[in-house]
Amino acid sequence: MLKLLYFWVFIFILCGCVGEQKPIQKSSISARSIIPDFYEEYGEIKRGQGFFQALKSISIDNAVALQLINALRDEVEFSTLKVGDKLKATYNRKKELVAFSFSQNPAEIHTVKLNNNKWDYFLEQKPTFWFSKIISGELRKGSTLVEDLKEKGVDASVVADVVNVLLCKVNFRFHARTGDKYKVVLSQRMYENQTIETKVLYTSYDGKRAGFSEAFWYEDEEKGSTFTAHYTEDGQALIRSGLRYPLSSLHIRSHYGYRRHPVTGRRTMHRGVDLRGRIGRPVHAVASGKVILSTYNKYAGNKVAIKHRDGSSSYYFHLNARKVKKGDWVRSYQVIGTVGATGRVTGPHLHFGFKNSKGRWMNPMHKRMIATPKLDGARFLRLQEQIAQIKGHIQDLELSQVARYLVANIPNQKVEYKLRLGVDLPSVKI
Ligand SMILES: [Zn+2]
């Protein structure tokens, strides 16, 4: 027991309690017996820092960094990398990295551990719960919806979400009037006292000039589905026009722009985005057009390119199978092939590239993309179910005087709905 205490006191001294830890300097340690087998270095993503630089700050070189990114890229959404994300490196006495952890919120820690020269992935999830609240109000003279929501303590990113959804229906600049009414229902995922995720379940705006509009959050069955978004009651997407996503779920493994190549390790320009997808998953045309390329090459593997009406073109690489020929006309969302791992790749994914009408490569994620202009079939029915639940939920929230503590007040049925919407809710099992 005493030994353990000494060990922690030692670690405590080593850390200095703040900032990044330094590797043990052997010369500074007199008693050899208390050298721990492992030591850790901590870091976090700083402003303007990329993942490689952040890894360097905890003594991880580029070669190992590449291995880590490859081991984590299917699990971690690197596109949401933000200032303050936490990193931890564990080294052995030989100063070799044996484990690495990355977390974007305190409830989820992604870890890879070295095992026979391979990195094994683990996800540590802490119990979280969801709770809902309703925020409603009236625009006062000289005030805007943004200001009003911020004043009520709504986080800036959530305010942006609400406004973006309503913008499809309401022209705030010309049609907002004093006395216009709004309502927002948020579902917040909590870890201890911290909000780690917020969904805008519902939002409505009732304006003298703008008329009445409302939007409901629809959650598709598949995680990361591009269909998960806000819709009107009749299933219209709140963004009506845009490219269709090439895959039904979206997880970016690698971004557009300069990066270290996952195979060569060299710094190269990546002219597209790499999207995760299992082999055989359908790849859809992002817009209608004419197939200008359907061929194989040793880098891009099976590739298809489509020229669209406005002169822009879309590119799909590493396909397992190509389902269209050069010269074919394709409809928007038509299946043009399947996800594969052909060409120079580290694993199955879709490389999706986009050229503007002038023929210049651009970041396809800068294009407005939608899953569908209108939900139909099973998805439309699911939307109706979820709308009914959201409406019931709003009634409950409005009946309750203290929305914050509502979880205990609402009937079981509604809690089940929350359970279903949330990823996990272990602490509120009824
Ligand atoms: Zn790529």
Return the C-alpha torsion angle 80, 302, 355, 247, nearest 10: -40
352 Cα–ligand 1 center, Å: 7
Q: Give the model's pLDDT for residue 167.
A: 87
260 Cα–ligand 1 center, Å: 11
Q: How many CB atoms lie within 10 A of CB 19?
A: 9
Q: Is 70 left (phi over 0), alpha (psi -120 to 50) or beta?
A: alpha
Q: How many CB atoms lie within 10 A of CB 252?
A: 18
d(CA 181, CA 14): 57
Q: What is the largest CA-CA distance in the chain?
A: 78
| Per-residue CA distances from 221 to 138, 170, 239, 244 (Å) | 35, 30, 21, 19
253 Cα–ligand 1 center, Å: 9
156 Cα–ligand 1 center, Å: 33
What CATH number matches the domain at 244-367, 2.120.10.30, 2.40.50.180, 1.10.3720.10, 2.70.70.10? Answer: 2.70.70.10
Fold of 36-125: Nuclear Transport Factor 2; Chain: A, (3.10.450)
Tell me the pLDDT of the chain (430 aa) as tens digits: 445 445 454 444 444 333 344 444 444 444 455 668 899 999 999 988 888 889 999 999 888 998 998 899 888 888 788 899 999 999 999 999 999 999 999 999 999 999 998 999 999 999 999 989 999 999 999 889 999 999 999 999 899 999 988 988 888 888 899 999 999 999 999 998 889 999 999 999 999 999 999 999 999 998 889 999 999 999 999 887 889 999 999 899 888 988 777 667 778 899 999 999 999 999 999 999 999 999 999 999 999 999 999 999 999 999 999 999 999 999 999 999 999 999 999 899 999 999 999 999 999 999 988 899 999 999 999 999 999 999 999 998 888 755 455 454 444 433 333 433 433 333 333 3
d(CA 361, CA 353): 7
Q: Give the model's pLDDT for residue 14.
A: 42
139 Cα–ligand 1 center, Å: 47
- Strand locations in 192-225, DSSP E? 194-207, 211-218
Q: Are 423 and 395 in contact (CB under 8 A)?
A: no
Over the range 205-235, which residues count as b (16 or more CB within 10 Å of their CB) and which as e? bbbeebeebbbbbbbbeeeebbbbbbbbeeb
Quickly list H helices, 16-139: 51-56, 62-72
d(CA 4, CA 167): 59
374 Cα–ligand 1 center, Å: 30
Are the folds of 36-125 and 129-241+376-428 the same?
Answer: yes
333 Cα–ligand 1 center, Å: 21
Strands of the sheet with 229-231, listed across from one edge: 129-138, 181-191, 194-207, 211-218, 229-231
Residues of the chain by 3-state class (helix, strand, coil), percent to 5? 25, 35, 40
270 Cα–ligand 1 center, Å: 6
278 Cα–ligand 1 center, Å: 15
Look at residues 422, 397, 411, 400 and name the one whose alpha carbon lies nearest to residue 130. Answer: 422
pTM of the model: 0.76
Q: Who's near 5: CB < 8 A, 6+ residues apart? A: none
Hey, CA dihedral for 168, 169, 172, 175, is it positive or negative? positive
Fold of 129-241+376-428: Nuclear Transport Factor 2; Chain: A, (3.10.450)
Looking at the DSSP bridge assignments, the partners of residue 260 are 267
d(CA 259, CA 346): 15
Domain spans in the chain, listed from the N-terminal domain onward: 36-125, 129-241+376-428, 244-367
**DSSP letters for 347-384:** SSEEEEEEE-TTS-EE-GGGS-EES-SB--HHHHHHHH
Q: Give the model's pLDDT for residue 416.
A: 38
The bridge status of strand 369-370 relative to strand 243-244 is parallel
